[in-house]
Structure 1
Amino acid sequence: MFKKFSRSRPVDDDEFFSRMISDAVMDKVRDGFDLERVDELVSKTVPRFIDDMAPELAASMMRNKRSLRGNKRMERGYNKRMRKQWGRAFDLYGVVHAVSTELGEKVANREREDLTSAQKHTLEALTGLHVSASRIAGEVLALLSQGYPRGALARCRTLHEAAVIACVIADSAADQDHSDLAERFLDHEIVTLRRDALQFQKDHEILGEEPLEQEYLDDLEARYDEVIAKYGQEFRREYGWAKKFSPDDNLRALEEKASLSHVRPHYQSASSEVHCGARGLGRNYIEMRGVTLRHAGKINVDLTWPADLALSSLLQVTFSHAVQGNPDGPTIESLICMRALEEMRSACLDAFVAAQAAIDSAEEKIVKRMQR
Structure 2
Amino acid sequence: MIKFDLESSFLEAVNNIAKEKKLNAEDVIGLIGNEKINKTLDEVAKVIDIKLEEDKDEYLKEHLLDVRSFEERLYLTWSKPLIRLEMIIVMCRELGSEIYKWHIANSCENIKLDVIAKLHAHSIQISCEILQLLKSGFADGAMARWRSLHECAVIARILSHGDEELAEKYEEHKYIDDYKFSKSYAEHSEVLLFEKLDDLSITSIKNKYDSLIKKYGESFSKENGWSYKLFNKKKISFYDLESFSGLDFLRPFYKFSSVRVHVNSKSVTYKLSLSLSYKHRNEEILLSGPSNEGLVDPLQCTSMSLIDTTKSLLSLNPNIDSLVSSKILSLWDDKLKSELIEASESLERKGSVK
TM-score of the two chains, using structure 2 as the length reference: 0.88
Aligned with 2:261 (options 245, 252, 274): 274
Alignment of 1:297-316 (within 5 A): 297-316=289-308
1:12 aligns with 2:3: yes
Distance between the aligned counterparts of 2:285 and 2:113, measured in 1? 49
- Within 5 Å, give how 1:73-84 maps onto structure 2: 73-84=65-76
**SS where residue 12 of structure 1 aligns?**
coil
1:170 and 2:160 equivalent? yes
Contact 2:17 2:28 in 1 (8 A): no
Superposition CA RMSD, Å? 2.6
Equivalent residue in structure 2 for 1:255, among 242, 259, 262: 242
Greater Cα shift, 49-58 or 37-46: 37-46
Question: 1:228–1:11: structure 2 CA closer, same or farther, 3 Å change rule?
Answer: closer
| Offset of residue 59 of structure 1 | 3.1
Secondary structure (helix, strand or coil) at the match of 2:167 reads helix
**Structure 2 partner of 1:85:** 77
Q: Secondary structure at the match of 2:230?
A: coil
Report the secondary structure of 1:212's partner residue: coil
Could you tell me which residue of structure 2 aligns to residue 137 of structure 1? 127
Within-5 A mapping of 1:174-253? 179-248=164-233, 249-253=236-240
- Counterpart-to-counterpart distance in 2, 1:67 and 1:223: 53
State how far apart, in whole Å, the 2-side matches of 1:106 and 1:232 are. 37
Superposed displacement of residue 243, structure 1: 1.2
Q: Which secondary structure state, in structure 2, belongs to the residue aligned with residue 344 of structure 1?
A: helix
SS class of match (1:295)? coil
User: Are the aligned partners of 2:213 and 2:221 in contact in 1 as well (CA < 8 Å)?
Assistant: yes
| Post-superposition CA distance 1:161-219 (Å, at most 9, x none) | 1111111111113xxxxx41111101100111122222222222222222123222221
Say whether the 8 Å CA contact 2:303–2:333 is kept in structure 1.
Answer: yes
Structure 1 residues 222-249: Cα deviation after superposition (integer angstroms, max 9, x where no partner) = 1111111111122111211111112342
Distance 1:67 1:346 in 2: 44
The match for 1:6 is none
Aligned equivalents of 1:247 and 1:104: distance in 2?
33
Please list every run of at least 4 consecutive aligned residues from structure 1 whose deviation after the TM superposition is greater than 6 angstroms.
Answer: none
Q: Distance in 2 between matches of 1:255 and 1:56?
A: 57
Identity, in percent, stands at 22
Q: Which residue of 2 aligns with 1:369?
A: none
Q: CA deviation at 1:156?
A: 0.6
Query: Does the aligned pair in 2 maintain the 1:246–1:254 contact within 8 Å?
Result: no
Alignment counterpart, residue 137 of structure 2, candidates 130, 135, 147: 147
Tell me which amino acid in the other structure corresponds to 1:144. Answer: L
CA contact (8 A) 1:11 1:57 kept: no
For 1:265 and 1:232, the matched residues in 2 are separated by 34
CA distance in 2, matches of 1:235, 1:22: 68
Question: Match for residue 358 of structure 1?
Answer: 346
1:135-157, CA deviations, whole angstroms, 9 ceiling, x for partnerless residues? 10111101000000000000010
Q: Once structures 1 and 2 are overlaid, which stretch shifts more, 145-154 or 33-42?
A: 33-42
Give the C-alpha shift of residue 61 in structure 1: 2.8
- Give the deviation of 1:352 after TM superposition: 2.3
**Post-superposition offset of 1:364:** 7.1
Displacement, 1:348?
Answer: 1.9
Query: Partner letter of residue 255 of structure 2?
Result: Q
> Alignment partner for residue 161 of structure 1, among 144, 151, 155?
151
Give deviations 1:101-129, integer Å, cap 9, x for gaps.
1111111121475856xxx2211211111
- Cross-structure match for 1:110: 102
Unpaired runs of 5+ in structure 1? 1-9, 174-178, 367-372
Using the alignment, how far apart are the partners of 2:9 and 2:26 within structure 1? 20
Shift of the 37–92 alpha-carbon distance from structure 1 to 2, 3 Å rule, reads same
Structure 1 residues 59 and 257: CA distance shift in structure 2, 3 A: same
Structure 2 gap segments, 5+ residues each: none
Mapping of residues 21-36 of structure 1, within 5 Å: 21-24=11-14, 26-27=16-17, 30-31=20-21
Distance in 1 between the 2:121 and 2:28 partners? 62
Aligned partner of 1:48 among 6, 18, 39: 39
**CA shift for structure 1 position 49:** 4.1
Q: Secondary structure at the match of 1:202?
A: helix
Moved more, 32-41 or 195-204: 32-41
- CA deviation vs aligned residue, 1:321-364 (integer Å, no higher than 9, x gap): 111xx1x4x11101100100111121122222211211211237
For residues 249 and 306 of structure 2, what CA distance do their matches in structure 1 show?
16
Alpha-carbon distance change, 192 to 67 in structure 1, aligned in 2, over 3 angstroms: same
Structure with the largest fraction of helix: 2
